[in-house]
Structure 1
């Protein structure tokens, strides 16, 4: 019996063009630290650190630790020399990017309906960002006050999407089996890979990301409207078994 619903954030609970968002994010972040480090050097180091997190399968290190170990040597600075500027950016500049998202009132309705039906709730967003940045995006989606059982952030997670280990880590932290979970997301590779460990999957249409290969099992699919309707009516993968 399904006990937990995992929700992706960007492109799912928070409709947005992810590429446009990332481009704006990088174009604003680099200049904000220009007095500390050359912007071009900073961006290269940031991307290298991000790639290191994506590749890492070191269960002994959080994504934050992996990022720092790859990022800081490339800019030749100690953490305390640049982190205050990054914290200021995430606290004060990052929130202004809300215009790049297209929040839907259905997102809150879906999460609340799932909670009312007794499902445990998790936000399974790729933990490549600090907790502050993820919290801002939860606010944009109007679900920040929802009592989620888990929100994956880079300070606490040790794996990222599209690794199956990311989903296994979530199961371990929630003390559930993969077959007790439904993963709801818009990314055919990063989200639907959850099916490989036995999770059921729902592909949210509208901002689908598909890199072509590999392809994974999709148990159900539809727009946010269809997701809400099926959840309300207990249809499709939400049907009571």
Structure 2
């Protein structure tokens, strides 16, 4: 059942020809920063930041943090000074770019229709810009109330960018849904359609002229999309089979989602028990680490090494009254991220046949390695959602 709709922003909810917009954006940046005594090219520095995101990098860092580390090196300025200057730019100069944009016909009616169907709405714009810039573009698109969106991706709250499928996996984990419970709506084949479809997310390609050749589940205009939802198109989508390419992005994206939530944890929250019958945040993170090392990866290894093994129930984890595995929650989370990378490295060596090696599960009966790997991703999301609920009740 579809629970959420992910919406691209530029050229989907907002007319914003990206080439013209970026040209004007970089022109304004260069003029502004030269007046403030910067000698190096801001455009070149920002492009180096984007390149850093496209390469393997520390996935515990937000996009904003990755950018700041690179800008500090490229521009020879402190991060605090850079932040102050960019805040001024986005507050005083960036609003001029509104002239490059225009609202899209039918967008407001689409949003109203989706909300009337009790669907969660996520703004899935490429998170290369800070919150201020993205919120301004949403206002230019005609949205005065941003609280109607369950989540808005920004440089500050995301750890990946388009077209990395892990970007979409991070969104799913942050809002607590599965890939087959979401539809991605966007105009860009590579960034929006192909990347989301890699995870098994349903897709709608926003185009003015319908083509016979499309990788999307459906295509058309924003107005046609509203009509499709009113006709309950989303309730009759074909089931997408699991595929090995779906797994690694979820494994990585789930780690990003975990650290996105942990960024909001104040020091005194870690060991709070808002519900005395539930784990604390620290205990949840400990469980993820311990499960990865003792259950999840060993189970996959066993399927690889044994012929059709019987997978028994794992040992019951410690209860909420048990002491946590370590005192430093962030370090435990970083250890989990390292162990997860080891699991991903293992899976990267598999051939097609190995993904489908059979096993027998104490609950699921006949299964295979691919299904068990997908179960690991679901296990992540279960406890990330638990952490989110616990965090919301901490004081």
Task: Calculate the TM-score normalised by the size of structure 1.
Answer: 0.90
User: 1:4 — aligned with what?
Assistant: 4
Q: What are the Cα deviations for residues 188-239 of structure 1, in whole angstroms up to 9, with x where unaligned?
A: 000012011110000001499xxxxxx983100001221122122323xx24
RCO greater where, 1 or 2, for CA within 8 Å and sep 6 or more? Answer: 1
Name the larger-Rg structure: 2
Change (3 A) 1:57 1:118: farther
1:164-203, aligned counterparts within 5 Å? 164-192=165-193, 193-203=195-205
1:229 match: 227
> In structure 2, do the counterparts of structure 1 residues 26 and 14 end up closer, same or farther at CA, with 3 Å as the change threshold?
same
Normalized per residue, the structure richer in helix is: 2
Q: 1:196 to 1:144 in 2, by over 3 A?
A: farther
Contact between 2:110 and 2:223, CA under 8 Å: does it hold in 1? no
* Structure 2: distance between partners of 1:105 and 1:217: 25
**Residue of structure 2 equivalent to 1:204:** 206
Give yes or no for contact 2:107–2:223 (8 Å, CA) kept in 1. no
Listed as ranges, the matches of 1:17-166 within 5 Å are 17-34=17-34, 35-38=36-39, 40-146=40-146, 147-166=148-167
Farther off after superposition, 161-170 or 80-89: 80-89
Q: Residues 123 and 57 of structure 1: is their aligned pair in 2 closer, same or farther, counting only changes over 3 Å?
A: farther
Report SS of the residue matched to 2:52: helix
The 8 Å contact of residues 63 and 128 in structure 2, kept in 1 or not, is answered as yes
Residue in 2 aligned with 1:211? none
Which residue does 2:216 correspond to in 1? 218
The alignment's TM-score, normalised by the length of structure 2, stands at: 0.56
Gaps of 5+ in 1: 209-214
CA displacement at 1:105 relative to structure 2: 4.2
Please give the alpha-carbon distance, in whole angstroms, between the structure 1 residues aligned to 2:83 and 2:55: 23
| SS class of match (1:121) | strand
Taking the aligned partners of 1:68 and 1:75, their CA distance within structure 2 comes to 10
Q: Which moved more, 1:116-125 or 1:106-115?
A: 106-115
